[in-house]
Chains A and B, each alone.
Chain A
Amino acid sequence: MAYSDKVVDHYNNPRNVGSLSKEDPNVGTGLVGAPECGDVMKLQMKINPNTQVIEEAKFKTFGCGSAIASSSLATEWVKGKTVEEALSIKNTDIVRELSLPPVKIHCSVLAEDAIKAAIGDWKKKHGVEVPVHEKASH
């Protein structure tokens, strides 16, 4: 299967690879995985508690090119957005941007889940109520 140019670009030059301190109260960590292919994706965001703006985003993904590209793109997109804006990112947006084929759609779902999980973790640290099952009930 051929990857789209954008996937190849993200794969070769992944943006924002790395990690942030899990202990930092302003950092939300989302760790998600796809059993279908054994992928695992970690996405972290540093969020300004006053403005709710995502100031930094890092990821590390073990998986196929599409999973790496999806998470790389997700970090690019969430940076500078508010928490609410980031939560509105849909996996279909990622599919469109990266021209993912149907068999790789689950990679984009994973990236969306990772964003939601990271924000959920951050909200939990700040005692904000989150609908617990929101991210899990596709």
Chain B
Amino acid sequence: MTTAPTSTTQSKTMDYFAIFGLPRKLWIEMSTLEQKFLQMSWKLHPDNFVNASEEERDLSLKRSSELNDAYRTLRDPVGRVEYLLGIEGARKEGEHKQQAPPELLEEVFELNESLDELREAKAAGNDLAALKSRLEVAEKNFQQKLGEVDAQLQTVAREWDTALQADSGTRKKIMAKLNELLNRRSYIRNLVANVQKELL
């Protein structure tokens, strides 16, 4: 089988949602996505291009890796939101627009201080029991926060899905909310990871 040249030029500008023929909605039926992915991967399988020209083989390989990236990104609920905000121009990596969630900072700072204390106590060979139990409580607390953020993300994602046709102001507001939630999430996740590392 061969690929029509038009579809390849399209694929350069196609976003991950478009690759699967999906609207830019955040709720995706996983089984449908998987099915589409398998179908499309099968069509792009190198076996189908044994007798094709080298150019076509290269092309199918490129599209196949694109397809894999698209699937991996969309399959992950958080990665999907990040990606959507990226293509909608609402989240640019490395730009200092990203604001930290202020009410979290205080807690983050204190937790980091406790982590420091634990490291020092470890180095000095002191008794760690009290510090450890404090950190365990903190970890639970942050795990719970992570769960809350994920639940909020889901709510706002549904909001986005129903506002696909809404005016750009409404959409921008929703994207700002999503962006803030992602920031909160990355903070909390880093913390949980750090605490877990120290508690090992």
Contacts and interface: CB of A to CB of B under 8 A. Distances in A.
A103 B94 CA distance: 7
A60 B101 CA distance: 19
B187 A35 contact: yes
Given A40-B108, A40-B109, A33 B94 contact: no
Contacts of B94: 36, 103, 106
The B contact surface, by secondary structure, is helix
Contact of A38 (B93, B116, B182, B187): B187
Interface size class of B (residues with CB under 8 A): 20 to 34
A78 interface: no
Which of B97, B99, B186, B191 has the most CB atoms of chain A within a 10 A radius of its CB?
B99
Contacts of A106: 94, 96
B29 to A, nearest CB: 31
Given A40-B112, A62-B112, A106-B94, A32 B105 contact: yes
Contact of B98 (A34, A40, A62, A105): A34
A116 to B, nearest CB: 13
A42 interface: yes
Given A35-B98, A136-B99, A138-B97, A62 B183 contact: no
A34 B100 CA distance: 6
B105 A40 contact: yes
Contacts of A33: 100, 104-105, 108, 187
Contacts of A42: 109
Contacts of B112: 40, 62
Contacts of B100: 32-35, 40
Interface in A27-61: 31-36, 38, 40, 42, 60
A109 interface: yes
B178 to A, nearest CB: 13
A109 B105 contact: no
Nearest to A33: B100
Interface string B108-119: 110011001000
B106 interface: yes
Interface in A5-40: 31-36, 38, 40
A6 to B, nearest CB: 22
Which of B93, B96, B109, B116 lies at the interface centre, i.e. has the most chain A CB atoms within 10 A of its CB? Answer: B96
22 contacts: A31-B109, A32-B100, A33-B104, A33-B187, A34-B100, A35-B182, A35-B186, A35-B187, A38-B190, A38-B191, A40-B100, A40-B108, A42-B109, A60-B109, A62-B108, A62-B109, A62-B112, A62-B116, A103-B94, A106-B94, A106-B96, A136-B99
Given A31-B106, A34-B98, A138-B96, 11 more contacts: A33-B105, A33-B108, A35-B183, A36-B98, A38-B186, A40-B105, A40-B109, A60-B109, A60-B113, A62-B108, A106-B94
Interface of A: 31-36, 38, 40, 42, 60, 62, 103, 105-106, 109, 136, 138
